[in-house]
């Protein structure tokens, strides 16, 4: 009888529990987050819980730091706070209260005596202790009282702040850890709820935001990306986006430039990259790495630019040959709210090939993968919590590196101009890259715990036309924009004769301008021979003073000057193609220097060239010659596939027109004539 | 590789090039008309993972590129 009554009671209790649990459950909502299939956390909180509490609850459940059940509106005691602070640190969290007090003393987390673990914690105490967890205590010590007064003067209840926490609150305001209430109060004595304490911790242990851009190639001003399209990009728009993104995560946002920034447009080339550094000094850049094009002005201007920058350049695989000292800082260790991040830079091993040899004279480029392994070991010895690589290797090389080198959490990349809409995960390394030419600002949010990514997200934010151009950049660039106009009018020399670049002539016969351009190519590169396609020369230059603008009109293409090793037979094959359409015009008709040749247009195509003379003797078919040309022809442009069979010995990394300008500035006056380099029979 | 030569693939066709060259060179060597259309923004180039790449992007030996309409 008793047994049956008990059973009935138990069943009733179970029924009530079930019903009540259903009622309770129906007023709760659950949130799931799954990122890159790494983490899947589900948190249950009441439906009317504000969104910010929901987000914080989900976040800290993912990181494993928030233990359920979460009671956001409960007051937090000092003992509970210390437990959480030790967990966030992270370090051992003792269950025993005596040991907890000892541990709190050890980590300097006791603000008041006695300990009183059951007492509720106030905002000023919690903020002060949170700063200590974030390794920010020194900032409070160093802060002058006058600065603290100024920072806190905007709050009406400044007089309520305890003298022992005064400067800590000022630092917290300065660093964006606390912002105050809309009524301009801080409420320093207010007791904090669990949700409010977690919100404080979110400011120091939430996701770290990495903003990044790469390969801007001197696009400081907005540019038109295609016919009829509105202007996009430019540093002004980039800065607007950076300022906006920083407001999202004010305490833990970093900004990186991944190289190839200093060179690429008249606005920067004419001033050796100076406008770039002056602009970026206003951006609050955390660090940058160097790209191959950043060496284009030579080592001295590069070092000057690095000296002028108010941010460090990190590069770990370029050293001086003589003493093996690094060209730039190999790495840095950054303290982000108490989390140590190791950051190092790498550049492509092709650097000696893709820039003029003089630009890298005396420098040694070390293998990126070997260097990366060494840097990871070194940074781990410094007990960093995460490692970030600033890479100018290119995306496919970044993927290889992530596959072969363990321990790098994030690669922010450049060089291949790859548009990664979202970061790619390769093994346990995230890779991000933001395209080119300031078209996008990249953003990666990442949370690392115990050297592992526990949360990540990322996106590209395009610098579309609708985004305002920050006037800081516009104002700063104005003198340079004006100076460019003056530069374009600058006289670089003169010609005593008309320089003939007329379309019919330059594409079918020898002209004096064709000879001059080819001579500049040959002389500048110390080559035996130079070959330039007539289609790359677009106008004539009148006799008299020669301005920079003339050269830009004549040589408008961004063609690089390169040197190939070709055999005499290969050169003959190229000359045959050059005259194959004669007397019709051909964009690929070659203007030459260092040799002369005779062709008979009556003969069959590919056997028209009957005589080639080099240094007063017939060109030897089996001998190898150094031939200067442009990168367009070198890769087979205009049908010159024969060039791709040669050997690339120099890639100057310099535009042909820049070489031409330098040459004119040196020789001052030219008087080129038609001298029989190309003779047609009959 | 010898003579700084590399090979990349455009639409799975082998394109011999030199180290230090860029995506635009791969297109010039592959098909001048396609290069012109890409230059005008009518076509885009993606890598073997489907990511769009800029015409001035650096290339490495063995890279694969594909042409897509915009």
| Position A36 pLDDT exceeds 80 | no
pLDDT tens column, A78-94: 999 999 999 988 888 99
pLDDT score, position A42: 52
CB contacts of B66 in chain A (<8 Å) are none
Q: Is the CB of A426 inside 8 Å of chain B's CB atoms?
A: no
Least Cα separation, residue B52 to chain A (angstroms): 5
- Is B5 in contact with A648 (Cβ distance < 8 A)? yes
Name the pTM for this structure.
0.86
Judge contact between B27 and B34, C-beta under 8 A. Answer: yes
The torsion region of residue A187 among left (phi > 0), alpha (psi -120 to 50) and beta comes to left
Judge contact between A416 and A191, C-beta under 8 A. Answer: no
Mean pLDDT across the stretch A664-672?
Answer: 97
Select from A227, A348, A562 the Cβ nearest to the Cβ of B40.
A227
Q: What is the DSSP letter of A366?
A: P
CB contacts of A646 in chain B (<8 Å) are 3
- Is B5 in contact with A397 (Cβ distance < 8 A)? no
pLDDT score, position A408: 97
* C-alpha span between A4 and A12 (Å, rounded): 12
Token code pair at residue A423: 């970061």
| Position B39 pLDDT exceeds 60 | yes
Q: Is the CB of A4 inside 8 Å of chain B's CB atoms?
A: no
Question: What is the chain A residue with the closest CA to B22?
Answer: A416
3-state secondary structure A1-31: CHHHHHHHHHHHHHHHHHHHHHHHHHCEEEE
Q: Is the CB of A206 inside 8 Å of chain B's CB atoms?
A: no
* C-alpha span between A108 and A86 (Å, rounded): 11
Q: Distance of alpha carbon A320 from its chain centroid, rounded?
A: 25
Q: Distance of alpha carbon A259 from its chain centroid, rounded?
A: 6
DSSP-based three-state secondary structure for A277? helix
pLDDT score, position B40: 86
- Is B56 in contact with A397 (Cβ distance < 8 A)? no
Token code pair at residue A518: 């080819």
pLDDT category of residue A558 using cuts at 50, 70 and 90: confident
pLDDT tens column, A519-557: 999 999 999 999 999 999 999 999 999 999 999 999 998
Give residues 345 to 374 of A whose Cβ lies within 8 Å of B.
348, 350, 353-354
| Position A577 pLDDT exceeds 90 | yes
pLDDT category of residue A17 using cuts at 50, 70 and 90: very low
Furthest-apart CA atoms within chain A: distance in Å: 130
Query: How much of chain A exceeds pLDDT 90, in percent?
Result: 80
pLDDT score, position A28: 44
Q: Is A300 exposed, middle or buried (0-12, 13-18, 19+ CB in 10 A)?
A: exposed
Q: What angle do CA A440, A417, A429 make, to 5 degrees?
A: 85
pLDDT score, position A29: 43
Judge contact between A381 and A226, C-beta under 8 A. Answer: no
Judge contact between A436 and B57, C-beta under 8 A. Answer: yes
Least Cα separation, residue A586 to chain B (angstroms): 15
Q: Which residues of B fall below an 8 Å CB-CB distance to A?
A: 2-5, 16-21, 23, 25-26, 28-29, 32, 40-41, 47-49, 51-60, 62-63
pLDDT tens column, B16-38: 999 889 999 999 999 999 999 99
* C-alpha span between B67 and B11 (Å, rounded): 7
Mean pLDDT across the stretch A581-598?
Answer: 96
DSSP-based three-state secondary structure for A414? coil
CB contacts of A562 in chain B (<8 Å) are 18
Handedness of CA A114, A119, A125, A126 (dihedral sign): positive
Q: Is the CB of A214 inside 8 Å of chain B's CB atoms?
A: no
* C-alpha span between A602 and A367 (Å, rounded): 55
Question: What is the chain A residue with the closest CA to B63?
Answer: A396
Among A648, A652, A653, A655, the strongest candidate for a mutation testing the B interface, having the largest count of B CBs within 10 A, is A648
Among B3, B8, B41, B57, the strongest candidate for a mutation testing the A interface, having the largest count of A CBs within 10 A, is B57
| Position A25 pLDDT exceeds 80 | no
pLDDT tens column, A468-515: 999 999 999 999 999 999 999 999 999 999 999 999 999 999 999 999
- Is B56 in contact with A632 (Cβ distance < 8 A)? no
pLDDT tens column, A173-226: 998 899 899 999 999 999 999 999 999 999 999 999 999 999 999 999 999 887
User: With a cut of 0.85, is the ipTM above it?
Assistant: yes
The torsion region of residue A186 among left (phi > 0), alpha (psi -120 to 50) and beta comes to alpha
| Position A72 pLDDT exceeds 60 | yes
Among B20, B33, B39, the strongest candidate for a mutation testing the A interface, having the largest count of A CBs within 10 A, is B20
pLDDT score, position A15: 41
Count of other CB atoms within 10 angstroms of residue A555: 25
Q: Which helix (H) or strand (E) holds A55?
A: helix A51-62
CB contacts of A638 in chain B (<8 Å) are 32
A522-541 burial, b at 16+ Cβ within 10 Å, e below that, comes to bbbbebbbbbbbbbbbebbb
Q: Is the CB of A230 inside 8 Å of chain B's CB atoms?
A: no
For the CA atoms of A412, A418, A424, A426, the dihedral, rounded to the nearest 10 degrees, stands at -80
How many CA atoms are closer than 13 Å to the CA of A271, on its beta-carbon side? 20
pLDDT score, position A44: 57
Per the DSSP assignment, residues forming a β-bridge with B16 are B7
Query: Shortest CA distance to A441 belongs to which of A229, A219, A230?
Result: A219
Q: Which long-range contacts (CB under 8 A, 24 or more apart) does A302-308 make?
A: A302/A262, A304/A272, A305/A262, A305/A272, A305/A273, A305/A274, A305/A276, A305/A277, A308/A274, A308/A277, A308/A278, A308/A281
pLDDT category of residue A33 using cuts at 50, 70 and 90: very low
| Position A22 pLDDT exceeds 60 | no
Sheet (strand A624-630) strand order:
A590-593, A529-533, A624-630, A560-567, A647-655
State the residue for tokens 């990495």.
A210
Select from B41, B49, B56 the Cβ nearest to the Cβ of A225.
B41
| Position A347 pLDDT exceeds 50 | yes
Q: Tell me what the pLDDT averaged over chain A comes to.
A: 91
How many residue pairs from chains A and B have C-beta atoms closer than 8 A? 109
Tell me how far apart the terminal alpha carbons of chain A are, to the nearest angstrom.
130
For the CA atoms of A284, A289, A291, A293, the dihedral, rounded to the nearest 10 degrees, stands at 50
- Is B3 in contact with A394 (Cβ distance < 8 A)? no
pLDDT score, position B4: 84
| Position A623 pLDDT exceeds 70 | yes
| Position A112 pLDDT exceeds 60 | yes
Q: Is the CB of A646 inside 8 Å of chain B's CB atoms?
A: yes
Question: What is the chain A residue with the closest CA to B40?
Answer: A226
Q: Is the CB of A219 inside 8 Å of chain B's CB atoms?
A: no
State the residue for tokens 């490495």.
B60
| Position A4 pLDDT exceeds 80 | no
| Position A26 pLDDT exceeds 50 | no
Least Cα separation, residue A228 to chain B (angstroms): 11
pLDDT score, position A30: 45
Judge contact between A355 and A341, C-beta under 8 A. Answer: no
- Is B56 in contact with A225 (Cβ distance < 8 A)? no
| Position A247 pLDDT exceeds 70 | yes
Token code pair at residue A31: 């949130």
Select from A226, A394, A417 the Cβ nearest to the Cβ of B41.
A226
């Amino acid at each position: 009888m008793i047994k049956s009554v008990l059973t009935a009671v138990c069943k009733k209790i179970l029924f009530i529990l079930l019903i009540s649990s259903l009622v309770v459950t129906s007023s709760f909502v659950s949130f799931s987050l799954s990122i890159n299939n790494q983490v899947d956390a589900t948190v249950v909180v009441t439906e009317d819980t504000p969104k910010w509490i929901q987000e914080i609850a989900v976040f800290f459940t993912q990181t494993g730091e928030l233990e359920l059940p979460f009671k956001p509106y409960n007051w937090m005691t000092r003992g509970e706070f210390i437990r959480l602070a030790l967990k966030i640190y992270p370090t051992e969290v003792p269950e025993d209260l005596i040991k907890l007090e000892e541990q709190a003393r050890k980590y300097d987390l006791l603000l008041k005596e006695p300990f009183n673990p059951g007492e509720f914690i106030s905002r000023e105490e919690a903020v002060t202790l949170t700063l200590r967890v974030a390794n920010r205590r020194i900032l409070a010590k160093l802060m002058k009282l006058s600065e603290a007064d100024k920072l806190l003067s905007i709050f009406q209840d400044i007089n309520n702040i305890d003298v022992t926490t005064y400067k800590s609150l000022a630092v917290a305001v300065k660093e964006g850890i606390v912002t105050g209430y809309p009524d301009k109060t801080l409420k320093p004595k207010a007791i904090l709820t669990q949700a409010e304490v977690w919100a404080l911790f979110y400011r120091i242990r939430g996701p770290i935001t990495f903003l990044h851009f790469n390969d801007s190639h001197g696009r400081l001003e907005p540019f038109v990306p295609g016919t009829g399209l509105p202007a996009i990009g430019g540093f002004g728009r980039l800065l607007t986006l950076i300022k906006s993104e920083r407001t999202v995560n004010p305490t833990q946002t970093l900004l990186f430039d991944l190289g190839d920034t200093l060179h690429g447009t008249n606005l920067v080339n004419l001033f050796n990259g100076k406008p770039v550094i002056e602009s970026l000094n206003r951006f609050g850049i955390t660090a940058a790495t160097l790209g191959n094009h950043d060496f284009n002005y030579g080592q001295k201007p590069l070092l000057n630019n690095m000296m002028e920058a108010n941010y460090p350049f990190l590069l770990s695989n370029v050293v001086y040959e003589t003493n093996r000292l690094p060209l730039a800082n190999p790495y840095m260790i950054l303290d982000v709210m108490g989390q140590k991040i190791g950051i190092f830079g790498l550049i492509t091993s092709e650097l000696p090939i893709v820039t003029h040899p003089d630009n890298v004279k005396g420098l040694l480029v070390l293998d990126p993968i070997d260097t990366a392994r060494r840097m990871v070991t070194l940074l781990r010895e410094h007990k960093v919590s995460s490692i970030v690589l600033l890479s100018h290797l290119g995306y496919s090389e970044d993927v290889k590196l992530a596959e072969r080198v363990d321990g790098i959490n994030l690669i922010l990349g450049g060089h291949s101009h790859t548009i990664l809409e979202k970061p790619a995960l390769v093994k346990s390394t995230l890779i991000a890259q933001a395209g080119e030419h300031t078209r996008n600002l990249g953003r990666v949010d990442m949370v690392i715990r115990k050297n592992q990514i526990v949360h990540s997200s990322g996106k590209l934010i395009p610098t579309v036309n609708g985004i305002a151009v920050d006037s800081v950049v516009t104002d700063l660039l104005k003198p340079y924009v004006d100076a460019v106009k003056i530069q374009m009018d600058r006289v670089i020399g003169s010609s005593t004769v008309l320089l003939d670049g007329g379309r019919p002539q330059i594409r079918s016969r020898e002209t004096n301008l064709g000879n001059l351009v080819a001579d500049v190519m040959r002389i500048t590169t110390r080559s035996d021979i130079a070959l330039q396609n007539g289609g790359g020369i677009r106008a004539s230059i009148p006799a008299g003073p020669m301005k920079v603008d003339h050269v830009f009109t004549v040589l408008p293409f961004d063609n690089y000057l390169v040197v190939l090793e070709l055999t005499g037979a290969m050169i003959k094959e190229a000359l045959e193609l050059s005259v194959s359409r004669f007397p019709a015009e051909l964009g690929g008709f070659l203007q030459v220097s260092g040799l002369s040749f005779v062709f008979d247009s009556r003969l069959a195509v590919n056997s028209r060239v009957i005589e080639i003379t080099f240094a007063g003797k017939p060109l030897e078919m089996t001998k190898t010659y150094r031939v200067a040309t442009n990168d367009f022809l070198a890769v087979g442009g205009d049908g010159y596939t024969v060039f791709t069979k040669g050997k690339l010995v120099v890639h100057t990394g310099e535009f042909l027109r820049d070489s031409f300008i330098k040459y004119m500035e040196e020789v001052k006056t030219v008087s080129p004539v038609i001298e029989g380099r190309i003779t047609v029979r009959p | 590789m010898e003579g700084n030569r590399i090979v990349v693939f455009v639409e799975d066709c082998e394109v011999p090039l030199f180290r230090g060259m860029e995506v635009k060179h791969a297109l010039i060597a592959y098909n001048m008309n396609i290069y012109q259309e890409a230059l005008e923004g009518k076509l885009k180039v993606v890598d073997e993972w489907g990511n769009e790449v800029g015409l001035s992007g650096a290339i490495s030996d063995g890279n694969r590129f594909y042409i897509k309409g915009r």
